[in-house]
Every structure is written in structure tokens, then in C-alpha cells.
């Protein structure tokens, strides 16, 4: 299969604390949504990178779990996933040391063992889980 490429973009203006940015997605679902220091660290209205990663991870995991269950002829009525992305200060900077997934699913005919095995496989193999250890490449140009 050919590589599928999706894009997200961000524009930032100003300093870290006083500046502001806007984030958009290729599909237009997010279009110039505000983000900044205050939305990331002070709970102000707007988005931030961690919640976007959380939404991406939760949605990817849910789809992967549905696929894995389908391989065992199990069809979920519902899968609800919350991804808690932990942003912590360390050595004078910030990092994301972990993401915690909380999953509740209604799956007719599934045993706890079926569910546990499928959830573990989905957690380890959904593309966003794998992204968190992916190679990151870059092209950078000063204009």
C-alpha cells in the first residue's frame, strides 16, 4: 500500500508567554484554532499539543481495538477511550513521559480474556502508539 500522508499545521507569533498560535488540520476539522502558553499551562480556552495527541491516540486505539476484535468475529457496540497525556517539567524543560489509556467497551459475546488480549494488542500496535517512538525528520528554512 502506498504511504498515506495527512497534515496538520501551526502558526505562532510572539514570545512564549505572550505569543499566540493557531493550529489547523488538512481536513479543516480544526481551522485556525487558538493555542498558546495560556491554553497549555493555564487552562484558558483553546487547544494544546497534549490534548491533540490524546485525541489522536484515543481515536487510533479505539479503531485498532475494533479491528482486532473483528478478527475474532466480535463487533463492539461501543468503545470509549480516554488518553491522559502527561506533560512534566524535567531538567529545565518539559517532556511527555507517559500516556495512560482508560477504555470502556461493550462487546457482545466477548470474555474478559478476549477483551484484555485485544486491548493489549491494540495498545501496542495502533499507529499512534508506535508514533511515540518514531523517527522524526525535518526540513528547516530561515526566511
User: Between vectors from CA 97 to CA 94 and to CA 103, what angle results, nearest 5°?
Assistant: 130
CA nearest neighbour of 99 among 109, 111, 116, 87: 87
Pick the CATH number of 49-134 from 3.40.50.300, 3.60.150.10, 2.170.120.20, 3.30.300.20: 3.30.300.20
pLDDT at 2 over 90: no
Which residues fall within 8 angstroms of residue 63, CB to CB, at 6 or more apart?
126
In angstroms, the Cα distances linking 123 to 58, 103, 138 are 10, 11, 27
Average pLDDT over residues 5-25: 94
In angstroms, the Cα distances linking 83 to 33, 50, 58, 128 are 21, 10, 5, 11
pLDDT at 136 over 90: no
CA distance 28 to 4: 17
Q: Is the dihedral of CA 126, 131, 135, 138 positive or negative?
A: positive
Domain ranges of the chain: 1-47, 49-134
Partners of 95 in the β-ladder: 88
What is the Cα Rg of the chain in Å?
Answer: 18
pLDDT for 35-88, tens place per residue?
999 999 998 988 999 999 999 999 999 999 999 999 999 999 999 999 999 999
- What's the predicted TM-score (pTM) here? 0.89
CA nearest neighbour of 132 among 91, 100, 102: 100
Amino acid at each position: 500500500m502506498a504511504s498515506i500522508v495527512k497534515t496538520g499545521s501551526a502558526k505562532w507569533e510572539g514570545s512564549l508567554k505572550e505569543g499566540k498560535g493557531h493550529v489547523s488540520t488538512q481536513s479543516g476539522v480544526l481551522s485556525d484554532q487558538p493555542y498558546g502558553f495560556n491554553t497549555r499551562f493555564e487552562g484558558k480556552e483553546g487547544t494544546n499539543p497534549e490534548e491533540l495527541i490524546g485525541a489522536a491516540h484515543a481515536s487510533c486505539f479505539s479503531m485498532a481495538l475494533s479491528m482486532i476484535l473483528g478478527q475474532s468475529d466480535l463487533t463492539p457496540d461501543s468503545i470509549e477511550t480516554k488518553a491522559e497525556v502527561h506533560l512534566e517539567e524535567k531538567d529545565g524543560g518539559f517532556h511527555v513521559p507517559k500516556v495512560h489509556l482508560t477504555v470502556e467497551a461493550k462487546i457482545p459475546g466477548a470474555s474478559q480474556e478476549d477483551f484484555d488480549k485485544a486491548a493489549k494488542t491494540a495498545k501496542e500496535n495502533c499507529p499512534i502508539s508506535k508514533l511515540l517512538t518514531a523517527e522524526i525528520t525535518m526540513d528547516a528554512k530561515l526566511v
